[in-house]
Amino acid sequence: MIYNQAEFDIRCEWGIQGVSQLAPISDVIVIVDILSFSTSVEIATNNGAIIYPYRWRDDSAVEYAKSVQAELLRGRLSQEGYSLSPASLTKIPAGTKLVVPSPNGSTLTLLTGKTPTIAGSLRNCEAVAKFAQRQGNRIAVIPAGEKWEDDTLRPAFEDLVGAGAILSFLNGSFSPEAETAVAAFHTFKKDLLGYLKKCSSGKELIAKGFELDVELAAAFNVSDCVPLLIENFYINSKKERSPASDSPNT
């Protein structure tokens, strides 16, 4: 097919269509949603939490959380509990099981099928790239993007740069789309925090009082945690175990 970049080892494409085109023909797929799904998942799983992605924040999410004996992530503006604010997850206890509704990162995660899936961010870009390279030569990196009010894809600066950061540590033949992401990363890497604060998504979070979340997301290559999707949950690949062996944090 014309759009699947199959003639290249290293591929990059946006959002849902990117997953549908690339996941079936890739050895591993990396979901990149910098503000804030991927950053939150990295921080939580690095602390030993177990993250269940879920597409919708509605009554079905409540029932799903009950079914897996997990807490349900609260809305970002909630003053209590855990949310998609990475800052709320920095001290999450090991063994905590958390259902994470997200229209971007979680949704894409749940569409990857049987292709090994990992969550990548600026924080763990090198570790993710090295892990992905061990899974095979055909690697797809998916910048999630955000949504406009009409639910169409808004390509997001931070996800392009985050994808480029991961791609910059990979080896193989690169599609033009992948090379574009790498070029974007190299252009802005000298001041990731400054640019993340100035981009649309960063300005939106800062206006709502979440500047710390932007700072956590901009931290470059500070973690060796690779959140790996096992069946229906993300867990630190270095601490892979069944969530059934952990006591739910309630």
113 burial class (0-12, 13-18, 19+ CB within 10 angstroms)?
exposed
- Longest alpha-carbon distance in the chain: 49
Task: Tell me the two tokens of residue 199.
Answer: 């981009």
CA atoms within 13 A on the CB side of 224: 2
Q: Find the mean pLDDT for residues 113-140.
A: 98
pLDDT higher than threshold 80 for residue 54: yes
pLDDT at 119: 98
Q: At what angle do helices 211-218 and 200-207 cross, to 10 degrees?
A: 140
Q: Find the mean pLDDT for residues 41-63.
A: 96
Asked if residues 15 and 142 have their Cβ atoms less than 8 Å apart, the reply is yes
Specify the pTM.
Answer: 0.94
Residues 6+ apart with CB under 8 A from 26: 11, 115, 136, 138, 139, 140
Domains of the chain, by residue range, sit at 10-229
pLDDT bracket for residue 241 (50, 70, 90): low
Q: What is the CATH number of domain 10-229?
A: 3.90.1560.10
Backbone dihedral angles phi then psi of residue 247, each to the nearest 5 degrees: -80, 130
